[in-house]
Amino acid sequence: MTDGGYFISFEGIDRSGKSTQAIVLAEELGERALFVREPGGTIFSERVRGILKDPEVPLSPRAEALLFAAARADLVASVIRPALDEGRIVIADRFIDSSLAYQGVARGLGVDAIKTLNHWAADTLMPNMTLLIEIDPAVAISRGAEEHDRFEDEGESFQRKVAEAYDQLAIDNPDRIIRVDGDRGPDDVALDVREIVFDRLGLTLA
């Protein structure tokens, strides 16, 4: 781990269980870790999240992509970058790869355009390590959820496109993106996550 902090993101399709894993890891790392979720984490970004999550607000694909990027820009500038500068471990529940997979591929806006937009929005910040929690879209959908947002309402074919996009991102970024089998109980997944992260950070497992 460098003095400049360490940035870990969690990625996966809806209901892959990645949020649970991100929170568990943050708790295990204690005070040196800071947990953030996307979109969200600042007053502005939480408001934008409200719009983005609301299936009652019609939103065209480019506007959707810009809102995710705007929420990310504010979170990076106000929260993530300052925490990394203090030497902390930042754990993000989603980051740029979500935009590449959902907006770039599943919405069909193109990975290159979304990458350019988001590198600018995030002031070129990228995670040091990304944990991709993998699960079959049919299994994820069968897990159910109380709330339905605009993406979950798109159904299995949309989630399948997102899963394929993540698969390609993992192929293209083998040093950064680490695949974790998410089709198991949360405790088993958490054990794997802990081992991978502690190993990378040079920490000893308790």
Report the interface residues with ligand TYD, using CB under 6 A.
14, 19, 37-39, 53, 68, 93-94, 98-99, 102-103, 149, 151
Nearer residue to ligand TYD within complex by CB, 99 or 130: 99
Nearer residue to ligand TYD within complex by CB, 143 or 191: 143
**Whole-angstrom distance, CA of residue 22 vs CA of residue 125:** 19
Taking the complex as a whole, how short is the minimal distance between the CB of residue 149 and ligand TYD, in angstroms? 6
Taking the complex as a whole, how short is the minimal distance between the CB of residue 12 and ligand TYD, in angstroms? 7
Length of the chain: 206
Taking the complex as a whole, how short is the minimal distance between the CB of residue 122 and ligand TYD, in angstroms? 11
The token duo for 62 is 């480019």
**List of residues 6+ apart from 201 with CB closer than 8 A:** 1, 6, 89
Nearer residue to ligand TYD within complex by CB, 35 or 198: 35
Taking the complex as a whole, how short is the minimal distance between the CB of residue 33 and ligand TYD, in angstroms? 18
- Cβ-contact 13, 102 below 8 angstroms: no
Burial class (CB in 10 A: 0-12, 13-18, 19+), 95: buried
DSSP-derived 3-state class of residue 45:
helix
Taking the complex as a whole, how short is the minimal distance between the CB of residue 205 and ligand TYD, in angstroms? 27
**Whole-angstrom distance, CA of residue 158 vs CA of residue 155:** 6
Nearer residue to ligand TYD within complex by CB, 94 or 194: 94
The token duo for 51 is 């719009």
Nearer residue to ligand TYD within complex by CB, 19 or 184: 19
Taking the complex as a whole, how short is the minimal distance between the CB of residue 202 and ligand TYD, in angstroms? 29
The token duo for 10 is 């969690």
**Whole-angstrom distance, CA of residue 56 vs CA of residue 176:** 36
Nearer residue to ligand TYD within complex by CB, 32 or 154: 154
Residue closest to ligand TYD when measured from CB atoms: 102
